[in-house]
């Protein structure tokens, strides 16, 4: 039986900073199969809470130390039904590096984080332009989830982006790393208008004192 792993890495970068999470899909299946240049893997990412995808980790089919180049595409909504149709897709990254080795995934940091609003799905296509990619050789779809993200994977392709044959035994194997902004309580409402307390001016005090003195003087005269 396959060892399904959903790992969450929670750490605060600084007080009040974002939280970073990683979700691993089929980490032990990377040796199932691998394709050459032009191999593509599809993933749907559905956000429970608003997230920002910062990097993808997956396995290259290149030999250790060999160059690897990947192209990453995204489209709002599911990839299903658009595997061979470029409508709605945008290339969000073209990343090159050298392969670690066939036992460790390579990390591909996106040039700009990919924001997914709460309740929304983003389709992802990863194409191994140079060096190919490895996949999990699984019959049927797989769905994983944590508190913030539900990835779905079911299909891969040959022949480059949105072309070539499709294969339902090519599921994504790797990790999706994303950030979530912490919940910040709303600030307290501003204080209401301040009503100034009336104060007596210096001349008013002098006038009041003279009035009291006059009353006292008249009263004494009346009693004399």
pLDDT tens readout for residues 61-81: 888 999 999 999 999 999 999
Round to whole Å and give the CA distance between 171 and 174: 10
Report residue 163's pLDDT band, with 50, 70 and 90 as the boundaries.
confident
Higher-confidence residue: 208 or 26? 208
Question: Residue 6: its pLDDT value, please?
Answer: 30
- Weakest-pLDDT range from 115-119, 122-126, 181-185, 214-218: 181-185
Residue 204 neighbours by CB under 8 Å, 6+ apart: none
Range among 30-39, 147-156, 184-193, 211-220 with highest mean pLDDT value: 147-156
β-pairing verdict for 174-180 and 11-12:
unpaired
Q: Which domains does the chain have, with CATH numbers?
A: 11-180 (2.60.120.820)
Q: What angle do CA 111, 4, 52 make, to 5 degrees?
A: 25
Round to whole Å and give the CA distance between 42 and 83: 8
Average confidence score pLDDT of the chain: 78
Does the pLDDT at position 188 exceed 50?
yes
Mean pLDDT score, 155-180: 87
Question: Residue 194: its pLDDT value, please?
Answer: 62
- Weakest-pLDDT range from 42-51, 127-136, 190-199: 190-199
Report residue 8's pLDDT band, with 50, 70 and 90 as the boundaries.
very low
Round to whole Å and give the CA distance between 99 and 59: 8
103, burial (CB in 10 Å: exposed 0-12, middle 13-18, buried 19+)? exposed
Question: Residue 77: its pLDDT value, please?
Answer: 96
Query: pTM for this one?
Result: 0.71
Q: Tell me the per-residue pLDDT of 81-130, one tens digit each, with 9 for 90 and over.
A: 999 999 999 999 999 999 987 678 899 999 999 999 999 999 999 999 99
Residue that has been written with the tokens 């909504």 in this structure: 77
Q: What DSSP designation does 2 have?
A: -
Does the pLDDT at position 18 exceed 50?
no
């Amino acid at each position: 039986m396959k060892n399904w792993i959903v790992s969450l890495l929670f750490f605060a970068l600084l007080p009040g900073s974002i939280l970073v999470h990683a979700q691993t899909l089929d980490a032990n299946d990377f040796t199932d199969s691998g394709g050459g240049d032009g191999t593509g893997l599809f993933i749907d990412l559905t956000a429970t809470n608003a997230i920002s995808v910062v990097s993808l980790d997956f396995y290259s089919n290149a030999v250790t130390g060999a160059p690897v180049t990947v192209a990453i595409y995204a489209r709002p909504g599911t990839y299903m039904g658009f595997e061979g149709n470029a409508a709605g897709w945008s290339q969000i990254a073209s990343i090159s590096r050298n392969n670690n080795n066939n036992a460790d995934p390579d990390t591909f940091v996106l040039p700009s984080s990919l924001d997914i609003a709460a309740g929304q799905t983003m389709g992802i296509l990863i194409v191994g332009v140079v060096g190919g990619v490895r996949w999990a050789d699984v019959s049927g779809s797989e769905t994983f989830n944590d508190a913030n993200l539900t990835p779905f994977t079911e299909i891969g392709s040959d022949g480059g982006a949105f072309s070539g044959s499709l294969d339902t035994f090519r599921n994504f194997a790797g990790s999706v790393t994303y950030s979530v902004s912490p919940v910040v309580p709303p600030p307290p409402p501003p204080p209401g208008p301040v009503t100034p307390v009336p104060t007596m001016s210096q001349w008013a005090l002098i006038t009041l004192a003279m009035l009291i003195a006059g009353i006292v003087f008249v009263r004494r005269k009346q009693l004399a």
